[in-house]
Amino acid sequence: MAGADTGARPKIVIVGGGFGGLAAAKALKTAPADITLVDRRNHHLFQPLLYQVATAALSPAQIAQPIRAVLRRQRNATVILDEVTGIDRAAKTLTLANGAPLPFDSLIVATGATHAYFGHDDWAAFAPGLKSLDDATAIRRRILDAFERAEVAKDAAVRDALLTFAIVGAGPTGVELAGAIAELAHRTLAREFRHIDTMKTRIVLIEAGPRVLAAMPEALSQKGRAALERLGVEVRLGKAVTACTADGVTLGEEMIPCRTILWAAGVQASPAAVWLGPETPRDRAGRVQVAADLSVPGSPDIFVIGDTASAVTKTGKPVPGVAPAAKQMGKDVARRLLARLKGRAEPPPFAYNDQGNLATIGRGAGLVDLGWIKLSGQLGWWFWGLVHIFFLIDFRNRVSVSLDWLWSYLTYGRAARLMTEGDRRPSAAPATPAPS
Q: How far, in Å, are 52, 208, 351 from residue 188 at the CA level?
A: 14, 30, 44
Across 101-176, where does the E strand assignment appear?
A: 102-103, 106-109, 113-115, 164-168
The H or E element containing residue 357 is strand 357-360
Please pick, among 148, 151, 176, 192, the residue that the annotation labels catalytic.
176
Give me the half-sphere count of Cα atoms (radius 13 Å) on the Cβ side of residue 55.
29
Active site residue 176: yes
Q: How open is the CA angle 51-54-59, to the nearest 5 degrees?
A: 100
Distance, first Cα to last Cα, the chain: 75
Q: What order do you get walking across the sheet with 248-251 strand by strand?
A: 241-245, 248-251, 254-257
Which residue stretches of 212-371 are H helix? 218-230, 272-275, 323-341
Q: How far apart are CA 292 and CA 92, in angstroms?
A: 22
**3-class DSSP state of 432:** coil
Buried b / exposed e across 202-222, counting CB within 10 Å, b at 16+?
bbbbbbbeebbbeebeeebbe
For the chain, the residue count is 436
Candidates 238, 260, 242, 259; CA nearest to 251 is 242
Q: Are the C-beta atoms of 137 and 53 separated by less than 8 Å?
A: yes
Q: How far apart are CA 387 and CA 380, in angstroms?
A: 11
Instruction: Just list the catalytic residues.
Output: 176
